[in-house]
Amino acid sequence: MAEKVWDVIMVGAGPAALSAAIYTTREDLKTLVFEKGAVGGLAAVTDWIDNYPGFPKGVAGLEFADSLWAQAERFGTELELGEVTEIVDEGAHKRLKTTSGDFVTKTVLIATGSDYKKIGVPGEKEFYAHGVHYCATCDGAFYRDKRLVVVGGGNSAVQEAMFLTKFASHIDLLVRGDKFRASDVLQHELEKHKDKITVHFNTTTDEIVGADNKVTKVIGTDKLTGNKIEFETDGVFVFVGLSPNSAFLKNTKIELDEIGFVKTNQHLETSMPGVFAAGDIRSGATMQIASAAGEGATAALMIRQHLEGHTLSPEPSMVSN
C-alpha cells in the first residue's frame, strides 16, 4: 500500500505552527501538526498573556492556545501526538522519523520553539507563572510598585532588569560571578538605574520561597563569605539563556547557528529545500507570541509557493536577522 503523503507537516504545535496551519488548511493543503507535549507550546503554560493584539483585557495562556487549535482544527488540521526524531531529505519528499512511525510529506515547517534555561533550584518549578518568570515583556506589568529579584549576569539579564524598572519599585540583581558578562554599553546604561537596581555580585540563587501560590523571598549565598542572604520579593525573573528545541536536527543537513537555533533565508526556508522554520526556533526570532504567529503566516505563504513550483531562492543564504 502506498504511503500517505502530506502537503505539509508541522513539527511543534505552538503559535507559529498553528497560525501557519490555519493558512495552509484553508487553502486545502493536507496539514498535520506533530506535537510531543502540550498544544500551544510555551503560550499554553503562560499564566496570562497581556500583550497579544486583539485582547484588550488580556487572555489566559491556556485559553489562547485552545482557541488557536480550535481554529486550525475547524479548517481541517490534523494532530499527531508524538516526537519527531529525524528529518530525512528524499528529494521532492521528506521523511519524518517519529515515535509513531514514519511520515512522508512534501514540505515541513519546523516550529518547535525554545525553552528557558532553568537554574534548577527548589521553588523554581513550583512557582512557575506564579511568581517565577522568564519573560519581562510578557509578565513585567504584573509587578507595578512591587519588589523583584532578577537572576543572571549576561546581556538579557541586564536588559530585562532595566526594562522591569518601568514597573517595579526595586530590583535586586543577583550575579553568580564577580562581574557581568553583559556588554560594556549595557553596563553603562545600567548605571543610570542604580536608584532602582541593586547589583549583588558573587551571589548564588539557592531557593525560591513562597506561600499561598505566591513568591515571598529568594535565599542565596554570598560566595565570598559563605553566608546565606535573603531577599524579600514579590517575584523572580530568571534570565540565564534560552535552549532551542533542536536536538532532533543535530544529525541532519539543516544548518543551525552556534547556539542551535535554525538558520533560514529571507523566505524562512532552511538549508534543506522544502523545509521551513518559524517562531522561537528560528535564529534571530524576537521570542514573542505575536511575531511567532506572524512568522507562521508568512511561512505558510512560502510553503504554498514552494508547492506551486515557484523558486523562492536558487541558493538560500542562511541569515540570522
Q: Are residues 203 and 293 in the same domain?
A: no
- Same domain assignment for residues 225 and 249: no
Give the per-residue pLDDT at 3: 80
- At 217, which CATH number? 3.50.50.60
Name the residue range of residue 220's domain: 118-238
Residues 42 and 177 in one domain: no
What residues of the chain score a pLDDT lower than 50? 314-316
Residue that is last in its domain, among 219, 238, 257: 238
**Total number of domains in the chain:** 2
Quick one: three-class SS letters along the chain?
A: CCCCEEEEEEECCCHHHHHHHHHHHHCCCCEEEEECCCCCHHHHCCCEECCCCCCCCCEEHHHHHHHHHHHHHHCCCEEEECCEEEEEEECCEEEEEECCEEEEEEEEEECCCEEECCCCCCCCCCCECCCEECCHHHHHHHHCCCEEEEECCCHHHHHHHHHHCCCCCEEEEECCCCCCCCCHHHHHHHHCCCCCEEEECCEEEEEEEEECCEEEEEEEEECCCCCEEEEECCEEEECCCEEECCHHHCCCCCCECCCCCECECCCCECCCCCEEECHHHECCCCCCHHHHHHHHHHHHHHHHHHHCCCCCCCCCCCECC
Domain boundary among 221, 238, 255: 238
Q: Looking at residue 287, what is its pLDDT? A: 86
pLDDT at position 286: 87
For residue 87, being part of any structural domain is answered with yes
Q: Could you report the per-residue pLDDT of 216-244, keeping only the tens digit for each?
A: 999 999 999 999 999 999 999 999 988 89
Domain boundary among 184, 207, 238: 238
The confidence score (pLDDT) of residue 247 equals 93
- The pLDDT, as a whole number, for residue 190 is 96
Question: 312 lies in a domain?
Answer: no
